[in-house]
């Protein structure tokens, strides 16, 4: 995967994962609110386990068919906005097998990439500061 595609794949999780997590848990749109939702044990750090790709997949897979479609991504994102990737673009970037949908493995891969990009000190945990720095960064 080239550098641009890697950044776009990471943006899938940022724009979908945190949105899906916030919708599922009714938290706000700030990094601090989303951090609090992810920090399940309230220790001030988000571990790789707490940054749960499985939960993200289950939230996105609204029809429970073990695939995430463009329509399901669109439902999370809302209407297309100028200057942002469409739901189809986001699927295309992360879709390794080219079938037009995302499997749990594909979502997990992108979530892992995003976690690693946010974890700037490479300690396998995210702090609020790390999440804030990467909050809107692709």
Counting residues of the chain whose pLDDT is more than 70, the rounded percentage is 76
Please say whether the beta carbons of 21 and 56 come within 8 A. Answer: yes
> In whole numbers, what is the pLDDT of the chain averaged over residues?
80
Number of domains in the chain: 1
Average pLDDT over residues 44-49: 93
Q: What is the CATH number of the domain that holds 19?
A: 1.10.238
**What are the respective helix, strand and coil percentages of the chain, to the nearest 5?**
55, 5, 40
| Angle formed by the axes of helices 3-12 and 87-94, nearest 10° | 120
Its domain, for residue 56, covers: 3-134
């Amino acid at each position: 995967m080239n550098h641009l595609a890697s950044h776009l794949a990471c943006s899938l999780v940022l724009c979908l994962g945190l949105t899906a997590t916030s919708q599922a848990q009714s938290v706000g749109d700030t990094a601090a609110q989303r951090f609090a939702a992810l920090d399940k044990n309230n220790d001030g750090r988000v571990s790789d386990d707490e940054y749960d790709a499985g939960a993200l997949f289950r939230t996105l897979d609204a029809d429970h068919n073990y695939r995430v479609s463009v329509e399901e991504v669109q439902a999370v994102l809302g209407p297309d906005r100028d200057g942002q990737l469409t739901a189809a673009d986001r699927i295309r970037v992360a879709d390794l097998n080219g079938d037009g949908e995302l499997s749990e493995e594909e979502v997990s891969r992108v979530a892992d990439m995003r976690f690693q990009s946010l974890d700037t000190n490479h300690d396998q945990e995210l702090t609020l500061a790390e999440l804030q720095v990467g909050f809107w960064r692709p």
